[in-house]
Amino acid sequence: MKIDDGSTRSIHLDFHTPGFVPVGEKFNAKEFGDILEKANVNSISIFALCHHGYVYYPTEKGITHPLLKTDLLGGMTEELKKRGIEALVYFSQNVNETLSAAHPEYVALNRDGSPVNSQILLSGDELYWSWLCPNRGNWVDEFFLPLIGEALRKYPSDGVFVDMAGYLPGSCFCEACRAKMKSEGLDIENSDQHSDFLVRTNQEVARKLRRLMDSVRPGLRLEMGCFNRIGEAPLAKGVLSEFYLETLPVQVGWFMFPFLARYFRNAELPVMGMTGRFLKNWGDFGTVKSAHQLKIELATHLAAGVSSAVGDHLHFNGKLDKAVYKIIGEGFKFLKERQPYCVGGKPMVEVAIPMPKRFSTSAAITVKDKNPYSPMTDITGLTRMMTELHYQWDIAEADVNLNSRGAVILNHATCEMEMIDKIIKFAEDGGLVIASYEGLRAKGVEATSKWQKFLGIKSLSALDEPGTYYQVKSKALKKDMPDMPLYTHVKSLRMETEDDLECLAGQMLAPCVRSREKFYGHFHGAPDKKCGSAISMRKTGKGNVIIIAPALFLSYMQTGNPHHFTLIRNILNSFYPEEKRMLRTNAPGIVEIALSEKDGNVVVQAVPFVAGRRDMNSFETLNEAVAVHGVSVSVRTPFRVESVIDPLKNRKIKYTFNDGFVNFKLPPFKDHFLALLKPAGE
């Protein structure tokens, strides 16, 4: 098995054990291997160095766990080698409680000089780790890398997994970082320069590690999360062997993984989705999600065209939980049948969503007490809507080829000059451009001036109101919309536009901005004052440009307002170039449909999401497998189709062909539907 063949079904076997528990007393190598093999596991990450700072084998470079009862790493690697299961050896880089306690001078610092810890993440009641800075002291070269070299030389393994290879938001302002930045002519108060410097620090550790690994055994796999900002995935070539996308839904929501996958899969390295068996966070012992929910999460990996990993946490006694691996085994059997058709194909894409460079996709998204305007929630609101409307979308950078795209949608200040020129030509050639809220700006003053001239904006200013109203004027957008002013619950902008723009929806404000001194009833005030346009349209060449003042996609994610969804649906139905449409369907929004090309076939996947009711403080669970009926699809194909088959049941599906679309009805499905559209002549 090789990582790049798309068949990876991996376990990430967390093992963070404090020094006061005995470790490995019940480890049995044969039982360990039997459980993994029965569960269809073919790759696993096992621990050498954990967050507590302990090593799980006899070491001369680190601190062996004080109550280690057996050579745990040695026993695991030897057994995995016998069975042909690939083993990545895990090392925690910037989180090491033992090292940080012994050397507080190595700990990263906040701006105020206080030591960094992970209390800023999530709810703050789960994570107590300190954070190290690779620029403080020589611990990377004198401890961390030598320890990895020792383990690689001592035991048979297939690669290395390095965790915590980044800084937490708000750090690091230590004297070493300040001095290094100053010596390079950089300003630590410049957020872009500071962020770039910190990222380069960890990327240099990765490059050193790759050189070390190649000197020990060339070709080893390396997974390491230090190339995670938008714009930096290409830099991982020659260093990493693959990207892993850790997205436990209860931590980051259901829409983070699709967003990440549709960026990283374009970087010419294999991609692996990673969820967990837990109901909540890592190490949520005593919990395991239902087999159905696990299958749905793994099916979203298939829909994105990537392989899969599931996180577990080994008991300190060294025994795997058979009940957990019974459920994981069901999920991996489900995967094994489908991966040859779904993983590694070429995605069919019709909507480009550009993202700004430096956009963080790691720990920053889990910071608590965030600003009410969340860029990540705004973007995932957009991608959620595209998924529910069944458009095939991707995250784009400046080098994207827009020729096959029908629309470019922006809700961030993304564009630099190169991208602006490309989008202008795209619109003139017949494409649809939609820009919302922050997407009405660009990167830098000069780029913003050019971008707003293209959009038809004469002036743009912030509004103090926490939310505004819009009321649709355009007849084309009124279908299924209530004829009333609709509140957004999010910030908006005041737009003054050129005369050639058509106002599709007007904007209104409440009588006052709510405060303790001046307020209206229980909530925001009723609509009162007109405030220009909320949505306007401009013809540009053969195409159309739509500008939206409020952060409507953010509002949709936060409130689920169905009328925002209907409005965007109506905009796309009215202005999207029909010749670029790849898919028509009557499927409800709870069904994700993904199109790709592989081995000469068009691959159609459908994944349902039928969740139980939730309380305001609970999280969605998918415990019952409910069949979805009556879904029909029409798929535009680049070739004449000879047959439509379900490869899992080896059956043909009836279809018709007209106007370039293959039309067929999906049989009822509960977790994942798969069909191959085979070209004539096969």
Whether the domain at 351-580 and the domain at 585-679 fall into the same CATH topology: no
Dist CA 102 CA 115 (whole Å)? 14
Model confidence band, residue 670 (pLDDT cutoffs 50, 70, 90): very high
Dist CA 341 CA 112 (whole Å)? 53
Whole-number Cα distances in Å, 511 to 140, 175, 527, 630 = 59, 51, 7, 48
Query: Token pair of 464, please?
Result: 């103090």
- Write out the DSSP string of 264-331: HTTSSS-EEEEEESSSSSTT-TT----HHHHHHHHHHHHHHT-EEEEEEE--TTS---HHHHHHHHHH
Of residues 6 and 147, more confidently modeled: 147
89 pLDDT higher than 90: yes
pLDDT at 122: 57
120 pLDDT higher than 90: no
The H or E element spanning position 575 is helix 562-575
178 pLDDT higher than 90: yes
pLDDT at 1: 38
pLDDT at 118: 83
Per-residue pLDDT tens for 194-204? 999 999 999 99
The mean predicted confidence, pLDDT, of the chain is 94
Q: Mean pLDDT over residues 71-89, rounded?
A: 99
Task: Count the Cβ atoms, other than its own, within 10 Å of residue 655.
Answer: 18
- Cis status of the peptide bond prior to 226, with omega within 30 of 0: no
pLDDT at 362: 61
Per-residue pLDDT tens for 348-405? 999 999 988 877 766 555 555 555 567 888 899 999 999 999 999 999 988 889 988 9
Does domain 585-679 bear CATH number 3.60.15.10? no
Of residues 361 and 175, more confidently modeled: 175
Q: Mean pLDDT over residues 301-316, rounded?
A: 98
Q: Mean pLDDT over residues 270-296, rounded?
A: 95
Q: Are 622 and 293 a contacting pair, CB within 8 Å?
A: yes
Q: Mean pLDDT over residues 455-484, rounded?
A: 97
Q: Mean pLDDT over residues 276-295, rounded?
A: 95
3 pLDDT higher than 70: no
Share of the chain above pLDDT 70, in %: 96
Report which residue type is found at 250. Answer: V
pLDDT at 373: 65
519 pLDDT higher than 90: no
Cross-sheet strand order for the sheet of 432-436: 393-396, 351-354, 407-410, 432-436, 543-548, 529-540, 502-509, 469-472, 486-487
pLDDT at 320: 99
Q: Mean pLDDT over residues 33-44, rounded?
A: 98
pLDDT at 517: 81
Q: Can you give the pTM of this predicted structure?
A: 0.95
The dihedrals phi and psi of 161, each to the nearest 5 degrees, come to: -115, 120
Q: What is the CATH number of domain 351-580?
A: 3.40.50.880
Residue spans per domain, the chain: 3-92+134-165+223-344, 351-580, 585-679
Per-residue pLDDT tens for 575-618? 999 999 999 999 999 999 999 999 999 999 999 999 988 887 78
Report which residue type is found at 628. Answer: V
What dihedral angle (degrees, nearest 10) is formed by the CA atoms of 41, 46, 51, 57? Answer: 160
Per-residue pLDDT tens for 236-250? 999 999 999 999 998
Share of the chain above pLDDT 90, in %: 84
Q: Which CATH architecture has domain 3-92+134-165+223-344?
A: Alpha-Beta Barrel (3.20)
In 3D, which of 509, 506, 495, 508 has the Cα closest to residue 473?
506
Per-residue pLDDT tens for 523-546? 888 989 999 999 999 999 999 999
pLDDT at 371: 58
